[in-house]
Amino acid sequence: MLKTGVVLAALIAVCLAGCSQPAVCTPVGWLNTVDVATPDSRVAEVVCVDGCETPQSARSILRGWQVQVGIGEPESIVVAVLDEAGTELDRHEVDVVWQHVDHGPCGGPGRADPVTLPHRD
C-alpha cells in the first residue's frame, strides 16, 4: 500500500510539473523604441519617416528624441530632422541594434542602442 502511494505521488508531481498550462499572452501592448541624439541646436523635431509602423514625431527626452517604431524590430529607420518652422534640415538612415528589456514568456519591449546623428551645416 505504501509503495502504491509513493508511485501515485510521483505521478502527480510529474504531471504537475510537465502538464502545467502555458502562459496566456494578452495582445501586444508595447512599443519598441530607439533614442536619437542630435548635436544640431537648430533641430526642433525628429520624425521617423521610414522603418516605423507609421510615420510619426519622436518624443522629446532629456538627451534628444525617443522614436517609437511599433512592435517590429527593423534593422534601420530613416529619421528627418526639422527646424522650428517645420522645414526639413536633413534625413538620416540609422542602423538599429535591438536589446530586449523584458524576457518574459510573452516577450516584451525592445530598446535599441542609442544613436547620435551627425552635425551638418
Question: 110: domain range?
Answer: 29-116
CATH number of the domain where residue 109 is located: 2.60.40.10
- Predicted TM-score (pTM) of the model is 0.69
**Inside any domain, residue 7:** no
**Inside any domain, residue 22:** no
Q: Tell me the average confidence (pLDDT) per consecutive run of 10 residues in the chain, 121 residues long.
A: 51 50 68 88 89 84 88 89 92 88 73 86 63
**Inside any domain, residue 58:** yes
Number of domains in the chain: 1
User: Are 117 and 81 in contact, with CB atoms under 8 Å apart?
Assistant: yes
Name the one residue in this structure whose C-alpha cell is 552635425.
119
**Inside any domain, residue 16:** no
Query: CA torsion angle for 42, 54, 93, 87 (degrees, to 10)?
Result: -30
Q: Which three cell numbers stand for residue 101?
A: 528589456
**Inside any domain, residue 93:** yes
